[in-house]
Amino acid sequence: MWVETKTIRHTDGTISTISTISTISTISTISTISTISTISTISTIDLYASGDQIGIGRLVDTGDLEFIPLPRVRTHRNTGKDNKFRWYNDHRLPDWADSGTVTVRLHTNNEDQRRGFNRTENVRPIPPADPDFARLYARRNDAESINRHLDDTLWLGRAHSIGHARQHLNLIGFALAVNSVAIHEHRRRRTEPIAA
């Protein structure tokens, strides 16, 4: 068991911060992330991860746990005390659970490591079932191809220069070169006659 603090934004605009006690479940592929007690009711809601997304579990008449995914409202980042960013998702709770939103942390912390739960492996910021996934995933191949090409230019995997500012300049120069070649190829293909 571990304790985690959650923030719930209610439909009336009020914000409640509560400490919750969580347990891990070994029911098939669903694992409990945290437990939330809503303010207007005494009920407890367990959040689970299944299929890379956050949801709740509800017992059905057969005694099995049914996974109900929670819709993602937004993904946002907060700056920690160490000036590093931490990512969070806000999810909308169902009507029977006060219709508020719950903020779920996306990074693994010490409590997750102690219980052997790799949060970043089990929860995606934008899971495949999310409406935004298809639009964003389509750009992945191009981004990975360009990153691989950049890695291939590094001799023994080492940067071309020393220092953050110089490496940043190298990356900007690389991006300009890649974009210039792409523009050149695009213009050349538009002016070439089409073969019959």
pLDDT for 117:
79
Cβ proximity of 123 and 114 under 8 Å: no
pLDDT for 12:
56
pLDDT for 183:
92
pLDDT for 39:
54
Q: What is the mean pLDDT of each run of 10 residues along the chain (196 residues)?
A: 45 49 35 50 68 81 84 90 90 78 85 82 86 82 77 76 84 87 89 68
Cβ proximity of 48 and 33 under 8 Å: yes
pLDDT for 94:
83
